[in-house]
Structure 1
Amino acid sequence: MMKSHATLQLKYIGINTSKSAIIYMREDCHICRSEGFVAETRVQVTINNRSIIATVNTTELASDLLKPHEASLSRHAWDLLAANVGDEISISHPAPLDSLSYIRSKLYGNELKTAEINQIIDDVVSGQLSDIHITMFLAASSGNRLNKKETQDLTQAMVQTGERLKWPSQCIVDKHCVGGLPGNRTTLIVVPIVTAFGLMMPKTSSRAITSPAGTADTMEVFAPVNLDVKAMQKVVSQENGCIVWGGAVSLSPADDLLIRVERSMDLDSEGQMVASILSKKIAAGATHIIIDMPIGPTAKVRSIAQADILKNYLESIAAQFSIKLRVVFTNGTQPVGRGIGPALEAKDVWAVLSCDPAAPQDLRDRALTLAGHILEFSPNVQPGCGKETAESLLNNGHALKKFQAICKAQGGLFDIPSAPYTKTIVAKVKGKVASIDNRLLARLAKLAGAPKSKSAGIELLTPLNKLVEKGEPLFIVHAETKGELSYALTFHQQRPNIIHIEEAI
C-alpha cells in the first residue's frame, strides 16, 4: 500500500534532549526534498489530530540510522505526542506565530500588552517557540526591561499554564530563598517547626539546576519527593505540611521551561525572577510568604540597592494577588551550615533538628529567624515573639518529631549515606579567612559529583574571619568514586583561592 506523500513512519531511537522537541529525518527523504526542510527548520508534526512544533535534525546519506520512509522523535516530543513505534506522522510548515512579532517588539523596547504576554507564554508551554525564540524573549526582558504591569501579567500567565492547588485553610504559609548560597538548607528545619505549631505549609521545592543541591535533592536523602498532587494532599492532610519536588505536581510549567534556557544565559531580570518565584507560590496555594534574600559579593543578590529593587517588586506584585509577603535580608557572604551537597546538608539538618551541640549554629539561627517570621503570620503569635516560639518548638523536640512524621508520611525515613572517598584541603599559610567564593565552592562540590551522587560534596570547616594555622584543615571534598574526587581536586589546583586567607604578618 502506498504511503501518503507527507507522512513518515516512526522509529524509536531513544534520544533525550531534555525539554526540546526534535524530529529526526533523513536529509534525502521525500519530505525534506519536496518541502525544503533542512537541519534547524521548525516544522509541525501531527499524529492522530495531536500536533507539536519541532526542530528538524537530519541524518546524512551514509547513515543507516533511519530508512528513507522513517523518522524519529526526541523523548520529549515522543511524550508530547503520545507516540508509538510504527505510527505514521505528517510533517508540514507551521503557521506564522504572532508571539514572535511581540517578542521582536519587546526587543525594541516596547511595552507588552496583557494578551501579548499570554500568547507568548502559551506558545512557550505548547512548544511553539524554540529555545532561540525563548532566548530572545528572556534577553528582551532582562536588565529590568519589564515594568510592574508586565511583571504582574507575566506572573498571571505563568500561573495559568499549570495546576493551582487548593487547601482547607485560610492561611497557607510558604518560604523561598532567592539563592546563591551553598548549604542554607533551612526549609527542612522551618517546615517541621511551623507545622508543629499548627500552620499549614505544603512546601514544593526545586531540584538543583546549577547548584550542588536543591531542597528537593536534600529532602530525598530522607524520603521520597516525587509525589503527585493526590499523594501530596494526603501527606498535608495528615501532617499539616510536606516537602516535595515541585516538578512532580506541574505547578507553573512555563517557569520550568524559561528557567532551563535562562540558566544557560546567566542573565538576571528582576521581573522574570519575581514572576518565577510568585507564579510557583500562587500555584501552590500560598497566601502568606517569607522571602529569604541573601546579600553578598558572590550571592545572587550582590548589593543592598539591588535587594531593595527586588524587594519592592516582590511586595507590590504579591499584593496584586492578595498575598501577604515579607522579605528578610540575610547575610550572603559565606555558605550556611557545613555541608554542600545533598547528604552533607542532610547531616546538618538532622544535627540542628536533634539539637546536637555540634550542629552548625549559623544554620540553626537562620532557620529559627525565618520560622519566626512565618509564625508571626499567625494571630496567636505577637510581633517580635516568633523566633522565641520557634526555638521552643525546636528545643522541646516537637520539630524533630514532626519532621520524622512528614518523612514517614512521604514514604521513608532513610539513613544518611557517607562518601567512601575524601580529601582534606589544608591552609597553606597562617592567617585569617578573609573571603569565601560561594560560586567556586559550589562548583567544586558539583565536580565531586553532587547532586547526582547524594553523598558527594564539600564539608566546610572554616567560616569567615576564623584564624587558621598553616596546615589546618579548611574543607573536606567528598566523592563516591576516585575519578570524581580526582576531577574535583584538579579543579581546586587551578582555583586554589576558593578560600582566601590573609596571611599573618
Structure 2
Amino acid sequence: MNSAVLRLRPLGIDTHREFVIYMRRDCHVCRAEGFQAQTRVQVTLGKRRIIATLNVIDSDILALDEASLSASGWPALGAAPGDEVDVSHAPTVDSLSSMRAKVYGHRLDAPALKAIIGDVAAGRYSDIHIAAFLSACAGGRMDLQETIDLTRAMVDVGDRIDWGRSPIADKHCVGGLPGNRTTPIVVAIAVAAGLTMPKTSSRAITSPAGTADVMETLTRVDLDLPQMRKVVEREGGCFVWGGSLSLSPADDILIRVERPLDIDSDAQLVASVLSKKIAAGATHALIDIPVGPTAKVRSDEDAARLQTLLEQVASAHGILLRVVRTHGTQPVGRGIGPALEAHDVLAVLRGAASAPVDLRMRSLALAGELLEFCGHSLPGTGHSEAWRLLDSGAAWDKFQAICEAQGGLRTPGVAALRSPIVAERSGYVAGIDSRRLARVAKLAGAPDAATAGLELHVGLGDPVERGQPLFTLHAQAPGELTYAKEYLGTHPIITLGDEVAR
C-alpha cells in the first residue's frame, strides 16, 4: 500500500462549501506525515485534487486505513465510497505573507491582491485565513486603489461574458433593508421594455434572503454559463445565482465566510458588487442605496462615501453607474424571508389588490430610472413607461417566460409553523428596527429554511390596538420558532408611541 493512501468512507457531514477531510489520529498517514488537527492537506484522486482542512478522529468511526470527506468534497473530487485518495501536505501558499501584512495595517499592491484572490478562488485558503483577510480589509482599511485592484483581481480569476451589444443593464441594492425585493420586478419591467438584463445575484450575506434565495423558491437559478446564455438570447434576461457560474468565483467564497462573521465592509461590498457586474458583461449598473437609522447605510454621509467609492471604482473599470438613494426608515413589503418575499413579488407582478404598495412604488421608481439611464426612455418618461409595462401585464408575462425558460415557474411554499406577535399596548408605530427584524427572521430559520421568516402587519405611523398582531413569525422547526421568540423577549423590534410619528 502507498503510505499516503486512504480509502474513502462517507460519514454524511455537511460543512457547507468548506472542504474538510476526516482521518484517524493513529492512522499511518497522520503518523508518517505528522499531521495534526487543522493541518491543510492536499487530497488527490486521479487528476483531481482539493485542499482540505484536517479534522482528526479518536474513535473507531473510521478504520485505520479509511478517511472521509465533508459533503462538498465528494463532488469536487468526483469521489465515490471505496475510492482511494492520496493525502499529502498542501503546497506552500506564498500569498499568506501579504494577507498577514494587511492584518498589520500595510497596504497591498495589485500583484499581492491578485495572488490572494487567486489562491482564494483555487481553494488554497482555509476559512480561518479568509476570515483574517476580510477582517483586515474591513473598517476603512482599504484605500481607493486597493479597492480598484481588488475588484480587478476578482474579475480576472473567473470568466467574463461579452454579449456583443450595448446596453447591458443591471440593477443592485446594497442591502440592509428587509423585504426590499425590487430586483425581480425591475428585471421583468426592463426586459419587457426590450432591454437586455442578464441578472446574476448572490445569496444572503447578512440578511434573511438574497435575490437568488427568493428566486430559487420560484424557479431554477443554478444555471451554468451556456444555459444562462440560452435563456438570455431567448428572453432577454435571466435570474441566475452567481455561485453556479465562474463569474468572480472568489466572491462567492468570500461571501460564504462573511455570512457567519456578519461583516460587509465598503471596500469588499464595492468589489463584490462591481466584479459581478463587470464579469457578467454589464455596461450600465443602477445601484440602490437605502438610507435609514437601522439600515446598512445609516446616514447621508455614509451614503455619499459609498456612492463616491462605487462611482470611482466603476469608472476605473469602464462601467457606467448611477446611484439612487432611497428611504430606508422601515422594511419594504410584508414578507421577510425567501418564500414570503417571493409571494410579495408575485402579488406586485400580477397586479393583485393585496400587493404591497411600497414594494410596487419602489420597483416602479427604480425601473423608470433604469429605462432612462439605459437610453430606452427620454428623461422624465421612464416612470410612466415602467407603470404601463407593469399594469398592462407585459412585465408579468415576461417574468413567467424567463422562469419557464429556466425550468418552470413554481409556487413558493408556506411554513409549517406560524406564531403571531401582538402589541402589548395601544398606540402608534413610532419605529421599526430593521436590523433586529432581519435578525429575528434569521433566528426563525431564514434563509436556509426557505419558508421561514416573518410577515409584517404594520408600518410606521399605523394605529395599533392592544393585542393586535404586529407581525407573524414563520418557521419550519419548533426550536427555531423558540429561538426567535426568546430573542424578541429582550430585543424589541417595533416601538409604539402615543402620537403619530412625524
Q: CA RMSD in A?
A: 2.2
Mapped to 1, the partners of 2:148 and 2:100 lie a distance apart of 20
Q: Which residue of 1 aligns with 2:373?
A: 377
**Aligned 8 A contact 2:202 2:252 in 1:** no
Query: Counterpart of 2:95 in 1: which secondary structure?
Result: helix
Contact 1:169 1:200 in 2 (8 A): no
Distance 2:446 2:17 in 1: 22
- Which of 33, 36, 54 is equivalent to 2:34? 36
Aligned to 1:439: 435
Cα distance, 1:197 vs structure 2: 0.7
Indicate the residue corresponding to 2:219 in structure 1. Answer: 223
Match of 1:278 among 274, 278, 287: 274
Shift in CA distance, 315/432, structure 1 to aligned 2, threshold 3 Å: same
2 CA distance for matches of 1:401 and 1:250? 30
CA contact (8 A) 2:338 2:447 kept: yes
**Structure 1 Cα separation of the partners of residues 29 and 419 of structure 2:** 57
Partner of 2:20: 22
Q: How far does residue 40 in structure 1 lie from its aligned partner after superposition?
A: 1.3
Superposed counterparts of 1:239-250, under 5 Å: 239-250=235-246
What CA distance in whole angstroms lies between the structure 2 residues aligned with 1:486 and 1:16?
24
Query: Matches of 2:42 and 2:222 in 1, distance apart?
Result: 32
Do the aligned partners of 2:206 and 2:263 also contact (CA within 8 Å) in 1?
Answer: no
Deviation of the 1:173 alpha carbon: 0.3
Distance apart, 1:209 and its partner CA: 4.0
What is the CA–CA distance in structure 2 between the aligned matches of 1:49 and 1:418, rounded to whole Å? 44
**Is 1:501 the equivalent of 2:496?**
yes
- Report how far residue 147 of structure 1 moved: 1.5
Counterpart in the other structure of 2:333? 337
Alignment of 1:40-439 (within 5 A): 40-60=38-58, 63-419=59-415, 421-439=417-435
**2-side partners of 1:131 and 1:501: how far apart?**
42
Q: Contact 2:284/2:374 (CA < 8 Å) preserved in 1? A: no
Moved more, 284-293 or 389-398: 389-398
2:6 maps to which residue?
8
1:502, CA displacement in angstroms?
A: 1.4
Which SS does the other structure have where 2:105 is aligned?
coil
Q: Aligned equivalents of 2:478 and 2:86: distance in 1? A: 49
**Separation of aligned partners in 1, 2:410 and 2:198:** 21
CA distance in 2, matches of 1:129, 1:91: 17
Determine if contact 1:7/1:91 at 8 Å carries over to the other structure: yes
Q: Which amino acid aligns with 1:415?
A: T
Report the Cα offset of residue 365 of structure 1.
Answer: 1.2
Q: Distance in 1 between matches of 2:7 and 2:81?
A: 8
The CA deviation at 1:424 is 2.8
* Contact 1:12–1:72 under 8 Å retained in 2: yes
Amino acid at match of 1:57: N
Q: CA offsets per residue over residues 259-309 of structure 1, 9 Å max, x none?
A: 122222233322111111111111111110011111122211122111111
Partner Cα separation in structure 1 for residue 113 and residue 299 of structure 2: 30
The partner residue of 2:484 within 477, 485, 488 is: 488
Q: Which runs of 4+ in 1 moved over 4 A?
A: 480-487
Instruction: Give the whole-Å Cα distance in 2 for the aligned partners of 1:50 and 1:355.
Output: 51
Render the CA deviation track for 1:171-193: whole Å, top value 9, x for unaligned.
Answer: 11001111111111101211111
Q: Residues of 2 paired with 1:88 and 1:425: CA distance?
A: 54
Work out whether residues 346 and 416 of structure 1, in 8 Å CA contact, stay in contact via their aligned partners in 2: yes
Q: TM-score, with normalisation over the residues of structure 1?
A: 0.93
User: Which residue of structure 2 aligns with residue 460 of structure 1?
Assistant: 456
Deviates more, 1:273-282 or 1:4-13: 4-13
Counterpart of 1:296 in structure 2: which amino acid?
G
Q: Which amino acid aligns with 1:457?
A: G
Letter in 2 for 1:499: I
Query: For the residues of structure 1 that align with 2:370 and 2:110, how far apart are their CA atoms?
Result: 33
Distance 2:90 2:442 in 1: 41
Asked if 1 retains the 8 angstrom alpha-carbon contact of 2:365 and 2:383, the reply is: yes
Provide structure 2 residue ranges, at least 5 long, that are not aligned to the other structure.
none
CA displacement 1:237-280 (0-9 Å, x = unmatched): 22111112222223211011111222222333221111111111
CA spacing shift, 1:233–1:108, aligned 2, 3 Å:
same
Counterpart residue identity of residue 312, structure 1: T
Q: Which moved more, 1:223-232 or 1:368-377?
A: 223-232
Q: Is residue 430–residue 504 contact of structure 1 (8 Å, CA) maintained in 2?
A: no
Tell me whether 1:478 sits opposite 2:474 in the alignment. yes
Question: Structure 1 unaligned runs (5+)?
Answer: none
Helix, strand or coil at the partner of 1:75: coil
Q: Which segment drifts farther, 361-370 or 214-223?
A: 214-223
Identity of aligned residues (%): 56
Q: Judging changes above 3 Å, is the alpha-carbon distance between structure 1 residues 77 and 168 closer, same or farther for their aligned structure 2 residues?
A: same
